[in-house]
Homo-oligomer: A and B are copies of this chain.
Amino acid sequence: MAHRVVIIGGGFGGLYAARALAKAPVEVTLVDRRNFHLFQPLLYQVATGGLSPADIAAPLRFVLRRQKNTRVLLAEAIDLDAERRRLILDAGELSYDSLIVATGARNDYFGHAAWKRYAPGLKSIEDATEIRRRILAAFEAAERETDAEERRAWLTFVVVGGGPTGVELAGTLGEIANDTLKDDFRNIQPRESSILLLEGAPRVLPAYPPELSQAAERALIRLAVRCRTGVRVVGIDREGVDIETASGRERIQARTVIWAAGVAASGFGEVLARRTGCRLDPKGRVYVEADLTLPGRPEIFVIGDLAHARDRDGNPLPGVAPVAIQQGRYVARLIEGRLKRSSVGPFRYRDRGSLATIGRAAAVADIGRWHFNGLAAWLAWIFVHLMYLVGFQNRLLVLIQWAFHYFTFNRRARLIAPDWRYFARSREGPLSGPNPPEPAVPVG
């Protein structure tokens, strides 16, 4: 019987591991709760109405349909029997010879679970359509509002976290307020919106070289985004955000708050810790060996955002797509090597650099010794993102929408759902406006 490889998670790590095993003499089962691979780097564009969910979601079965040694199973992994090498699913069990765990990360509110309701993070399609709904609904509520102070609160948008995702979100919000919605309303001027980007470090994009942080801040200022650095968020409720700065405590009245401040590893790390005795770091990530296996469990690999792996200098690798992709391919090579009894060295991350975009023709690039920004960085960003987007059709459609967006400033994916009645209740219900009384029903 062929060597059985079970992969949990169809994100970058899991999908690239599966693809790299296409020609190996193994039987691959890819398990995911969702039927699609999500291209997370463009999720913020769904959250801001620039793209539709399907543009950045490739059906896993379709992507792997020609790979005859691979099957896709729509299921949730809930437990592990490490001794008998069996993965426990919500319905049934799976035996494995090698297990690749690539279940990724989720939003982390630093112990303030109550903030989640008022400040959604951006990890899933549902998160993105919910954020889109809140942004568009806030402008609608402002258009209807007669009280000036209330209206200002509706037109204040706070993004918590000045990393790449926060910068991308804030920059896009600036474009929406200044350009996209310019002529859409009769009672409000969307460009009078106040967009705040809050960051705890002394500068935005703290993982980038300082001159690129400055370039990003300048680009954000041109989009009327105000960056507030050295700021600690100490409270979030439905009316706004409480912050602490060097000069004391402060209150920001804002009806729309988006969380881009942190992620923690997904829950499967706890299953691994319980069942194999492996250790987790404070963010819930699993400490792995140099070959990405669990200590004492050479048949279990952990990759991507769930893994705490280190570079040559001992620094933990960042939770970005290139790390997950390279780890997925490395593990596939290692498994194939073991079957051939050829040895494969430890995992080495080849850092090809980082890119973050701010808005039209504005981005920053940190590629080896090259630090640059502006149009060249933006074009590099477009090229890299289209290259890694799965599916030729998706690439073409996204490129066309970007081209339209560039020349017309329009964003077409602007559906608010379920419907207006959630707002109508704003004066009566316990929650006001875009926080619906029931779980939101997003529509793509």
Residues of A participating in the B interface, judged by any CB pair closer than 8 Å: 32-36, 52-55, 57-59, 61-62, 65-66, 71, 73-76, 90-91, 125-126, 129, 136, 140, 143-144, 181, 183-186, 391, 393-394, 396-397, 400-401, 404, 408, 410, 412-421, 423-424, 427, 439, 441-444
Contacts and interface: CB of A to CB of B under 8 A. Distances in A.
A444 B415 contact: yes
Given A36-B415, A125-B415, A126-B418, 4 more contacts: A36-B414, A61-B184, A66-B183, A442-B444
Nearest to A35: B416
Given A61-B184, A421-B33, A441-B441, A396 B391 contact: no
Contact of A414 (B35, B66, B144): B35
Number of copies: 2
A415 B427 CA distance: 35
A10 to B, nearest CB: 12
A410 B65 CA distance: 12
Contact of A443 (B129, B140, B143): B129
A444 B52 contact: yes
A35 B76 CA distance: 36
A136 B439 CA distance: 23
Contacts of A66: 183
A153 to B, nearest CB: 17
Contacts of A125: 415, 417, 443
Contact of A33 (B394, B420, B427): B420
B416 A90 contact: no
